[in-house]
Amino acid sequence: VKIQQLTVIGVGLIGGSFARATRKANKVETIVGCGRNEANLIKAVELGVIDSYKLDVKEAVKNADLVMLAVPLGAMTALFEQMKEALKTDAVITDAGSVKSSVINSIKTVYGEVPPHFIPGHPIAGTEESGVEASFDTLYNDRRVILTPLDNVDESALSLVKECWESAGAEVSTMSVEHHDEVLAATSHLPHMLAFGLVDTLAQQDEQKEIFKYAAGGFRDFTRIASSNPVMWRDICIANHEALSDKLDAFATEMTELADAIREQNADELLDIFTRAKTARDKFIG
Amino acid sequence: VKIQQLTVIGVGLIGGSFARATRKANKVETIVGCGRNEANLIKAVELGVIDSYKLDVKEAVKNADLVMLAVPLGAMTALFEQMKEALKTDAVITDAGSVKSSVINSIKTVYGEVPPHFIPGHPIAGTEESGVEASFDTLYNDRRVILTPLDNVDESALSLVKECWESAGAEVSTMSVEHHDEVLAATSHLPHMLAFGLVDTLAQQDEQKEIFKYAAGGFRDFTRIASSNPVMWRDICIANHEALSDKLDAFATEMTELADAIREQNADELLDIFTRAKTARDKFIG
């Protein structure tokens, strides 16, 4: 199925790459962009990422067959509100927000329930860059995309969104909202907390010690995610505070055991922990 | 000064790269290798990293002007013991161990004190590879090397070791044993504990949840150091357990604050922590 009009709200790295990829795959006829930064939208037209843009949300979505919301979690509720009256009745809505329970709550606030044509989604992809100039048509190639449709989902809407992502080269999985938020708490949100926490701990000790001066390449890799956008991460933490708190508790328990083993110089336990970790990483990630 | 004979004990990534770099800089006439793995030593001769090898430590060091110990921390004491009677009186000894208090204790066990010709050292460099085939002559180029000489040090011995590292392109710093071990606890040992602890925590939850399947590139970078050698890290933890315990305590305090802020959805505090961390990382590491 070819989509007549795709509207992308938030034409940055994620939204711009979605536009580029679906265009390249010949899945869409026309792409309309929308956002608050007009210079970015002009750039997106110049780059051929979108065909045209509207600053007004209602104008941008009124003829859309598919709307992709690629905006911060904190902007979702207001956008659903503005879109609601303007959308065609059979328009499909999807998003790329990284905490699905938060987006579900946003749309429930506006519609009272989750509309069957809304397909919550999350591409597990990204770079450290942002803005439309960072977007590229292979960002989602061989990457995973998680969709978290509810029980009342319209199956043809689900198929449409799935096809779009697959046309971009992504492998699409479907899971519950709760499972998604727990998995992301573990693999993304918790590691970001550790990186932010480590760098902040050392920064507070650094004045006297010049610690960072002697940091090697491993430290650079390990702390890269601590250079991420603080506002975005504040929003993610608050949106996913329950699942993230659980993961932080599990991690704290592990670290207490590890710290005890170090203090007691318990060689066997240390070797067990490190061996289990290395085996798991080499098997699953290496 | 050109060194007549350099003996490298442990001709792997670190020792082999030291041999290659000093050879390339024309700092050494002859390089003798020593180690327990004869196949590795034969390979080292074939690759031109060393000129010859001895399996017997006494034979390997008896004509040496400089001995480089590039072996695990747990092997140091026995090697100092074996070398002691065979060494020329003015031979300079140095090492590449990553916990300096541990190496100092090893040599004190054998000599009763730290000999003035011993220069404790630690190159802040390495890759995930090991063995002589992974060694290369630019490993130390633009990298830092920390020397931790004691008060009784022989100044010409110190100069010799410093010159060798500088000829390899390294920037040499001198600091106290305690300061070195604290800095490394912060920038290397603590991050390794977090990576091992994170992967082990998730591995224990993984069976039901398939968590690792959805891990993205950031997770791969963040956990890379959890694929390090478990035996080496067991030894490092035990050797540096005091400084590392202090750093783990400071980190645990920070993470308790962060976890509380998440649980309480304290937006301002979260933004403060993330902004401080990003600012520090971008300034010092980025």
pLDDT tens by residue, A81-123 = 999 999 999 999 999 999 999 999 999 999 999 999 999 999 9
Q: Does residue B138 sit at the A interface (CB-CB below 8 Å)?
A: no
From first CA to last CA, the distance across chain A in angstroms is 38
Rounded CA separation B154/A175 (Å): 67
Backbone angles phi, psi at A63, to 5 degrees: -105, 10
**Helices (H), ranges, A115-216:** 155-167, 177-184, 190-209
Q: Are B120 and B109 spatial neighbours (Cβ–Cβ below 8 Å)? A: no
Which DSSP helix (H) or strand (E) runs through A104?
helix A100-111
CB-CB under 8 Å, B212 with A238? no
CB-closest option in A215, A233, A247 to B285: A215
Contacts with B218 from chain A: Cβ below 8 Å: 126, 188, 191-192, 224-225
User: Reduced to 3 states, what is the DSSP secondary structure of residue B243?
Assistant: helix
Q: E strand or H helix at B269, and its extent?
A: helix B267-284
Q: What is the SS3 assignment for A61? A: helix
Of B124, B230, B273, the CB nearest to A274: B230
The answer to whether B19 and B11 have CB atoms below 8 angstroms apart is yes
* DSSP code at position B170: P
**Whether pLDDT at A6 is above 70:** yes
The 8-class DSSP code of residue B185 comes to I
Using CA atoms, how far residue A52 sits from A16, A74, A82, B119, in Å, is 13, 25, 20, 68
CB B203 within 8 A of CB A277: yes
Q: State pTM to two decimals.
A: 0.89
In single-letter form, the type of residue at position A139 comes to L
Please give, rounded to a whole number of angstroms, the shortest distance from the CA of B33 to a CA of chain A: 27
For residue B183, give the 3-state DSSP assignment: helix
DSSP alpha helices (H): ranges in A168-266? 177-184, 190-209, 217-223, 230-239, 241-263
Calculate how close chain A gets to B195, using CA atoms only, in Å: 8
Min Cα separation B176/chain A (Å): 12
At A48, is the pLDDT very low, low, confident or very high (cuts 50, 70, 90)?
very high
Per-residue pLDDT, A128: 67
Measured between CB atoms, does B73 come within 8 Å of chain A?
no
Mean predicted confidence (pLDDT) in A173-197: 95
- Asked if residues B95 and B102 have their Cβ atoms less than 8 Å apart, the reply is no
Residue type, A45: V
- pLDDT averaged over chain A? 94
Query: Which residue in the set A197, A254, A273 is minimally distant from B258, CB to CB?
Result: A197
pLDDT digits (tens, 9 = 90+) for B268-286: 999 999 999 999 999 887 6
Q: Contact A252/B256, CB-based, under 8 Å?
A: yes
pLDDT beyond 90 at A257? yes
pLDDT bin (cut points 50, 70, 90) of residue A151 is very high
B121, B95 contact by CB (below 8 A): yes
pLDDT tens, N- to C-terminus, chain B (286 residues): 899 999 999 999 999 999 999 999 999 999 999 999 999 999 999 999 999 999 999 999 999 999 999 999 999 999 999 999 999 999 999 999 999 999 999 999 999 999 999 999 999 987 767 889 999 999 999 999 999 999 999 999 999 999 999 999 999 999 999 999 999 999 999 999 999 999 999 998 876 668 888 887 788 888 988 998 898 899 999 999 999 999 999 999 999 999 999 999 999 999 999 999 999 999 887 6
Sort strands A52-54 and A28-34 into parallel, antiparallel or unpaired.
parallel
CA B269 – CA B266 distance, rounded (Å) = 6
Query: Given CB atoms, is A175 within the 8 Å cutoff of chain B?
Result: no
E strand intervals along B25-95: 28-34, 52-54, 66-69, 92-95
Confidence label for A207 from pLDDT (cuts 50, 70 and 90):
low
State residue B133's pLDDT score. Answer: 96
Closest by Cα among B9, B108, B97, B14 to B57: B9
Return the C-alpha torsion angle A228, A229, A233, A236, nearest 10.
Answer: -110
Separation of alpha carbons A140 and A264, rounded Å: 47
- What is the complex's ipTM, to 2 decimals? 0.88
